A and B are shown apart, each in its own frame.
Chain A
Amino acid sequence: MTGKEKVLAVLNKEKIASIPWLPFAGVHSGRLKGYTAREVSTDAAKLIESLREVNKLYKPDGQPIMFDLQIEAEILGCELLWSEDAPPTVSTHPLSDTADIPEHIPAVNEGRIPLAIEAMKAMKGEIGDTTALYGLITGPFTLASHLRGTNIFMDMIMNPSYVTELLGYCTKVAKAVSTFYIEAGMDVIAVVDPLVSQISPDHFGEFMDKPFAEVFDLIRAAGAKSSFFVCGNASANIAPMCKTRPDSISVDENVNLATAKKITDEYNVVIGGNIPLTSVMLFGTQQDNMKNTVDLIDSVDNTDLLIIAPGCDMPYATPVENTIGVQQAVHQTEQIREMVKNYEGTEIEFEGELPDYNNLEKPFIEVFTLDSITCAACTYMKASAVDIKEHFGDKIDMIEYKYTDPQNIARCKVMEVKQLPSIYINGELKYSSIIPNRSEFIAVVEKCL
């Protein structure tokens, strides 16, 4: 099964043997290619190049094109504050002092929609056969708050009819943008609405039922799949969200996945989530990420109707090896479970002997991988070392250590190898996670000759 087939099968509520993996690499994609968040948010060529790298390194079954909740708001008159290491942010709210309801619906050629569409079409052509592509739109409530500011919360109580009307307008915008993205080839439209976590189930019923149901109906009628993304503690709103009939919902670490899954299972809705973004993905080690993912998978009653994903948009600076660790843990759960166990078990002593790195006869390249067969990034890392070995022939030595062998785990501990895949030359870390460029790699080895 391709990744795309897996995602679509699960969204069609079929039972399959594996769990799809959906890395939310928004602006983080740029980091893989050395581009800033601003660059991948404004330059189609750089975005496409970065998305290609995400596909290559993270082996996603499904992949978002842009994770940017400001695209619609920008067109509708909100000013943005730009950042180099985060998506832009809305800084002004055009409706803060007026009760007017706008009429303008974004057109396909407005603002950054053409950028998104160009990237969607390019990715559809390159990876669309094997990877399910996600187009993300701003949900009606979050868009309304961009336009109105946080006064919207008070309006819900003091001026409910205004809120209903404003949400009606935002629903039209959401439907228009969903249509553009479906026409650009997106398999799944994700309606992203973090603000939904901040209201009561009663308010959800009063205001959100109809707008969200309408958007999901439109997506269904257009033949695409849908997802309802929320960030924050949305525990109280899981059932109300299911009632708007999305194919799936996605939650962050503030929600207990196992508890929420009991609810989504009742509604026959797929649930996605929720590797902690900050404590684990950004600040944890690769080991933490593998362990966390295995534990998460073990925490749910059953793995049907389940997608594993980060809690929300991944921080720009998320270490690449952490995402690779999660990917491996989703795709090779049993193997990684064993590795984590072996790593945690203190009883394994390293039985071999480390080379005398200061007195080597020739340069020695050591490749540490999770498993160069199943882990894409490891495959590339290993291939680049094999290529270099071929280039230099007998002048250098090269070896791969796979983490699948407990002795290799012990070796990693002794050598203090923290990230996989990585390449060491003469006992020193040279490359980790990001595949070295050939000419640069050759130059580095030449220096050691």
Chain B
Amino acid sequence: MADFEKISELMQKGKADEVKQLCAEALEEGVAPKDVLDMALLAAMNIVGVKFKNNEVFVPEVLIAARAMNFGLEILKPAMVDDDIEEIGKVVIGTVKGDLHDIGKNLVKIMFEGKGLTVIDLGADVSAEKYVEAASNENANVIACSALLTTTMTQMEAIVKAAEDAGIRDKVTIMVGGAPVTQKFCDSIGADIYAADAATASEKALEVCTK
């Protein structure tokens, strides 16, 4: 019987090759790929997210766990039947224009993926137009923007405005975050959701996409 606990532990330690191998073994034993995904990989990512939030693990540990998750996914994805890969939701993410802080954004992306969401990463220094263009082309449920500077967080208002101008505002949920961003700021610019950390952000995004 596949040991989800063990896969989870190895993944949290970033042991990519072992995770890959155990995922393959699980499939050989006839375990449903979706179960391995949910109960081992995504569960592990959830734990990592909480530990990061509590200052028990740091950026390198999260990144390395994410890499191990992707190794596992490589095995699981091809084995999944169509039913399994029904898309939960799509998120367009990026750091706003003029801002190159991308560590937080990358962690949020990882946690989104850890919830099984499809993420389109636009990188850093992303203009309002680019977010909106990508969101319309991809038919995304969520635009997630990150800003770490007080001088760039004002860009988020431009993104809300650009979404209105493009006529997609009612179709897309706009999430904002990054160290200087607050719930109050989120409300003041007419964005939809604020979260203080990546784990909470992913929970809220999942809620939006499954509603």
Contact = CB atoms under 8 A, between A and B. Distances in A.
When A and B form their complex, which 7 residue pairs have the shortest distance between CB atoms, in order from nearest? Answer: A153-B60, A198-B59, A200-B58, A157-B64, A89-B100, A156-B60, A278-B180
B121 interface: no
Contacts, number: 55
Contacts of B180: 278
B57 A154 contact: no
A86 B61 contact: no
A358 B153 CA distance: 43
Contacts of A199: 58-60
Interface string A63-97: 00000000000000000010101100111000000
Given A89-B100, A150-B103, A282 B150 contact: yes
Contacts of A235: 55
A315 B150 contact: yes
8 contacts: A83-B98, A86-B98, A86-B151, A150-B106, A153-B103, A156-B60, A200-B58, A200-B61
A369 B98 CA distance: 38
B125 A154 contact: no
A158 interface: yes
A414 interface: no
B161 interface: no
Interface of B: 14, 55, 57-61, 63-64, 67, 98, 100, 102-103, 106, 125, 149-151, 180
Contacts of A35: none
A21 interface: no
A317 B153 CA distance: 14
B55 A153 contact: no
A158 B58 CA distance: 15
A316 B98 CA distance: 15
A154 B64 contact: yes
B31 to A, nearest CB: 28
A295 to B, nearest CB: 21
Contacts of B106: 150
Contacts of A85: 151
A384 interface: no
A154 B150 contact: no
Contacts of A200: 57-58, 60-61
Contacts of A90: 100
Nearest to A315: B150
B103 A198 contact: yes
B162 to A, nearest CB: 21
Nearest to A236: B55
Contacts of B103: 150, 153, 198
Nearest to A151: B63
A262 interface: no
Nearest to B100: A89
Contacts of B55: 233, 235-236
Interface string A212-233: 0000000000000000000001
A141 to B, nearest CB: 12
Contacts of B63: 153-154
Nearest to A155: B60
Contacts of A153: 59-60, 63, 103
A317 to B, nearest CB: 8
Given A199-B59, A200-B58, A91 B125 contact: yes
A11 B58 CA distance: 31
A157 B151 contact: no
B1 to A, nearest CB: 30
Interface in A156-199: 156-158, 198-199
A217 B67 CA distance: 38
Contacts of A158: 64
B2 to A, nearest CB: 26
